[in-house]
Structure 1
Amino acid sequence: MDTADQLYAAALTHLEALIGFDTTSRDSNLRLIEYVEAFLSEHGVASRRVANPEGTKANLYATVGPAVAGGVVLSGHTDVVPVDGQAWSSDPFVLTRRGDRLFGRGTCDMKGFLALALATVPGFARGESARPIHLAFSYDEEVGCLGAPSMIRELVSDLPAPLAVIVGEPTSMEVVSGHKGISTWRVTVTGHEAHSSLTHLGLSANMIAVELMERLRQIALELERHGDPASPYHPPHATLTIGLMQGGTAVNILARECTFTFDLRTPPGQNPDTIIVPFLDACETAHRIARERFPDAGVAVIRRSATPSFAPEPNGAAEMLARRLAGDNGPTRAAAYAAEAGQFQGAGFSTIICGPGSIEQAHQADEFIALSQMERGAAFMARLAEALA
């Protein structure tokens, strides 16, 4: 098998190529997928796409090594968040080294891990291991973990049962055993336009929306009050935030439409559907009252995404393996963000999160990954190859 130094050098080459593909979630990821397919083909590895309904994006998975049980899935998302409005010191889609850091959109979240996974391919493709690795690269993780479920369904039916799934979100190469789930909703309030001085002749969508948003604020406060101080999550309670709001066309017109989008992040054991019931009841009441005044008015609620939480699996195969490979004897760790780990766990896979880079550098201008993190990641992959030999 390749040494850690060889894996490190190969990973940096792949990372430079991966950063060069603008895979912002609103755009296609197919150029990156084509790059991975071509690389795998060079090493005699067949891969399979699982496309979105429009055919503009795709997941990709492949088995490298013998098609036997007991392998390890290396999973990561190919999409990145936008750079719009951010003050970057260099081109975000050109890998740039400054000192001991590599800058570029997606360096830590999470193309650094994808690059390390690709670096392992030649060794496994040469037949130097008794058990395989399985690559599982997804799309649209950053907009609600929308892409992975269709791929995971195929993994369940197609793969020889793997020992573990390692989701390579940035954890500074420390093992993270749980994450919160996230559910997102979009609310559209439709009113009836009129001159703002004649409120009796119209219905302001904005005014209705404000009342509904206040109901969400009250739920958020209630969740905070009932947080568990012993929880490993930070903050130690479910959180609810309104991220987007848009309504009205002019200050002197009763707004015809107002939309807002919110997310609810819940630790394992809390059901988002139950938490949101009082808000949905308020929406139903507001809808009925609006319709009584104007038949074209009302409130519509659409659920955009529902990503399950990821619960620690004490002494699980994935955690035991990852801790051994990472040399991690630390405490059980949990993340406030959501990831695809909960989706893999829900499909019956023993799962863990462990990858290079820090989440503190993600989603901001001058995102970077430290070279030392790539070195640690390469050492992790070298030990994985030995463990599967």
Structure 2
Amino acid sequence: MSVLDDTRQLLRDLISYPTVSADSNLGLIKYLADHLHGCGARVDIWHDETGTKANLFATLGPERDGGIVLSGHSDVVPVTDQDWSSDPFTMTERDGKWYGRGACDMKGFIAAAAAMAPRYARMELQRPVHFAFTYDEEIGCFGARALAAALQKRDLRPAVAIIGEPTMVQIIEGHKGCHEYTTRFTGLEGHGSRPDLGVNAVEYAVRYVAKLLELKAELQARAPADSRFTPPWTTINTGALVGGVAHNVIPGKARVDWEMRPVQPRDADYVSTVLHQLCQDELIPQMRRTHPEADIHTEVIGEIDGLQPMDDNEARDIVMELTGCRHADVVSFGTEAGIFQTLGMSVVVCGPGAIEQAHKPDEFVSIDQMSQCLGMLERLSAKLV
């Protein structure tokens, strides 16, 4: 069988595992572990605290620093309320495309990397190649953060990471960070006719959102002059404001879900400082004049580092050579790449498919894109011997 045929079968199998982030990925991880172990790879599986999720890290070649990591996340977004024309967890092929949940984001790259493993295993590798497949990227990159901690404990230092998110096999050398938060407001319920006797959590949440809007405007003026991002400034988005039970009840609880996508770390620090001062110096003291137990608490859902473009980037240089692409771009969406960069690796994002297909019904990756990706990974062989 050709490597494309092997990839097709691997992707078909991977899609059949409904690894929605809310559910377990253990079946898929075992499948990949068996496949890689069968190729002669040294395979490690690290579970999360619940035991229902796991990262896989496998190595072919010598046990030494300086290796090349091929990385992808195993989880996918839900299909609930999406209008699919076929079973999202059964891969179908039509019009030169492979359809299924995760085909593009990002089981296509995982299948391509796994398909190359037997080819790499038959070579006299001088440089190790690692396979890193993680959990829960879609809800906070929890798996990649746990993987990074595990690699630090092993004192293993790969040099290069290729994150196979869908980029149309174009090279991405930078992206914004992604910080997600839930801020909860605890007030005091009461009858709507006596607002003086209650603490309206929704009204305080509205004042918090008003500050987010002010900061959103301020951040535009803080954009670095040389920013390559679109838009070039740090953005804030208010995703939800939830609270209240009836027209005539003072709401005692409220919640604001919001996110920030920093282009530079000092923007994140500035926003955090301003919001902390707002709550500690103004909102909470006012709430507690009526109800001493009133409070505001912000939960960190995820604070994912951005991928910083670097002048010296071996990963970019390698992938340019492999693909023939002479340009590296930046994007606004986030990936696990920044986590690998914090480990001291040079990192790029480059994989098959278009981000516009991700998370949509009838998600697909084209066979042409998969062929381009496989060509890149086949040519990577010359960097391993």
Q: TM-score, normalised by structure 2?
A: 0.95
Task: For 2:156 and 2:120, locate their aligned partners in 1 and report how far apart those are by CA, in whole Å.
Answer: 16
What fraction of aligned residue pairs are identical, expressed as a percent? Answer: 37
Alignment of 1:46-57 (within 5 A): 46-57=42-53
Query: Which of residues 302, 307, 315 in structure 1 aligns to 2:299?
Result: 302
Task: For 1:233 and 1:11, locate their aligned partners in 2 and report how far apart those are by CA, in whole Å.
Answer: 34
User: Which residue in 2 is equivalent to 1:288?
Assistant: 285
Q: What does the per-residue CA deviation read over 1:240-261, in whole Å, with 9 as the maximum and x for residues that have no partner?
A: 0011222111222111101111
Indicate conservation of the 8 Å contact 1:144/1:306, yes or no.
yes
Query: Which of residues 168, 182, 186 in structure 2 aligns to 1:186?
Result: 182
Is 1:129 aligned to residue 128 of structure 2? no
Query: Which of residues 144, 155, 169 in structure 2 aligns to 1:148?
Result: 144
Structure 1 residue 186 displacement after superposition: 1.0
SS in 2 for 1:385: helix
Indicate conservation of the 8 Å contact 1:288/1:298, yes or no.
no
Query: Which of residues 19, 26, 35 in structure 2 aligns to 1:23?
Result: 19
Indicate conservation of the 8 Å contact 2:44/2:57, yes or no.
yes
SS in 2 for 1:8: helix
Structure 1 residue 86 displacement after superposition: 1.7
Judge which range, 181-190 or 84-93, deviates more: 84-93
Is 1:96 aligned to residue 126 of structure 2? no
- The amino acid of 2:101's aligned partner reads R
Structure 1 residue 179 displacement after superposition: 0.8
Task: For 1:270 and 1:7, locate their aligned partners in 2 and report how far apart those are by CA, in whole Å.
Answer: 46
Runs of 4+ in 1 over 4 A off after TM superposition: none
User: Which residue in 1 is equivalent to 2:326?
Assistant: 329
- The amino acid of 1:328's aligned partner reads C
Task: For 1:344 and 1:41, locate their aligned partners in 2 and report how far apart those are by CA, in whole Å.
Answer: 24
SS in 2 for 1:134: strand
Pair 1:159–1:381, CA change in 2 (3 A): farther
Pair 1:226–1:163, CA change in 2 (3 A): closer
Task: For 1:276 and 1:184, locate their aligned partners in 2 and report how far apart those are by CA, in whole Å.
Answer: 12
Query: Which of residues 329, 336, 356 in structure 1 aligns to 2:352?
Result: 356
Q: What does the per-residue CA deviation read over 1:343-367, in whole Å, with 9 as the maximum and x for residues that have no partner?
A: 1111111111111111111122221
User: Which residue in 1 is equivalent to 2:165?
Assistant: 169
Indicate conservation of the 8 Å contact 1:245/1:259, yes or no.
yes
Q: What does the per-residue CA deviation read over 1:74-104, in whole Å, with 9 as the maximum and x for residues that have no partner?
A: 0111111122222222221111222112111
Q: Which runs of 5+ in 2 are unaligned?
A: none
User: Which residue in 2 is equivalent to 1:204?
Assistant: 200
Task: For 1:131 and 1:227, locate their aligned partners in 2 and report how far apart those are by CA, in whole Å.
Answer: 40
- The amino acid of 1:77's aligned partner reads H
Task: For 2:65 and 2:162, locate their aligned partners in 1 and report how far apart those are by CA, in whole Å.
Answer: 16
Structure 1 residue 157 displacement after superposition: 4.7
- The amino acid of 2:138's aligned partner reads E
Query: Which of residues 238, 247, 250 in structure 2 aligns to 1:251?
Result: 247
User: Which residue in 2 is equivalent to 1:276?
Assistant: 272
Q: What does the per-residue CA deviation read over 1:40-60, in whole Å, with 9 as the maximum and x for residues that have no partner?
A: 222232311121111111111
- The amino acid of 1:312's aligned partner reads P
SS in 1 for 2:310: coil
Task: For 2:225 and 2:88, locate their aligned partners in 1 and report how far apart those are by CA, in whole Å.
Answer: 39
Task: For 2:339 and 2:150, locate their aligned partners in 1 and report how far apart those are by CA, in whole Å.
Answer: 13
Indicate conservation of the 8 Å contact 2:159/2:344, yes or no.
no
Task: For 2:93 and 2:261, locate their aligned partners in 1 and report how far apart those are by CA, in whole Å.
Answer: 35
- The amino acid of 1:206's aligned partner reads V
Structure 1 residue 228 displacement after superposition: 4.3
Indicate conservation of the 8 Å contact 2:109/2:164, yes or no.
yes
Pair 1:15–1:247, CA change in 2 (3 A): same
Structure 1 residue 126 displacement after superposition: 2.6
- The amino acid of 2:294's aligned partner reads A
Query: Which of residues 217, 220, 231 in structure 1 aligns to 2:227?
Result: 231
SS in 2 for 1:38: helix
The total of aligned residue pairs comes to 384
Judge which range, 125-134 or 46-55, deviates more: 125-134
Task: For 2:291 and 2:53, locate their aligned partners in 1 and report how far apart those are by CA, in whole Å.
Answer: 41
Pair 1:18–1:228, CA change in 2 (3 A): same
Q: What does the per-residue CA deviation read over 1:231-277, in whole Å, with 9 as the maximum and x for residues that have no partner?
A: 21111111000112221112221111011111110114544122232
Q: What does the per-residue CA deviation read over 1:299-327, in whole Å, with 9 as the maximum and x for residues that have no partner?
A: 11122211111111224211111111111
User: Which residue in 2 is equivalent to 1:222?
Assistant: 218
Indicate conservation of the 8 Å contact 2:234/2:264, yes or no.
no
User: Which residue in 1 is equivalent to 2:308?
Assistant: 311
User: Which residue in 1 is equivalent to 2:54?
Assistant: 58
Task: For 2:279 and 2:100, locate their aligned partners in 1 and report how far apart those are by CA, in whole Å.
Answer: 42
Q: What does the per-residue CA deviation read over 1:15-65, in whole Å, with 9 as the maximum and x for residues that have no partner?
A: 111111111111111111111111122223231112111111111101012
- The amino acid of 2:140's aligned partner reads G
Query: Which of residues 5, 10, 24 in structure 2 aligns to 1:9?
Result: 5
User: Which residue in 2 is equivalent to 1:345?
Assistant: 341
Query: Which of residues 11, 15, 35 in structure 1 aligns to 2:31?
Result: 35
Q: Which runs of 5+ in 1 are unaligned?
A: none
Is 1:78 aligned to residue 54 of structure 2? no
- The alignment yields a C-alpha RMSD, in angstroms, of 1.7
SS in 2 for 1:246: strand
Task: For 2:324 and 2:70, locate their aligned partners in 1 and report how far apart those are by CA, in whole Å.
Answer: 18
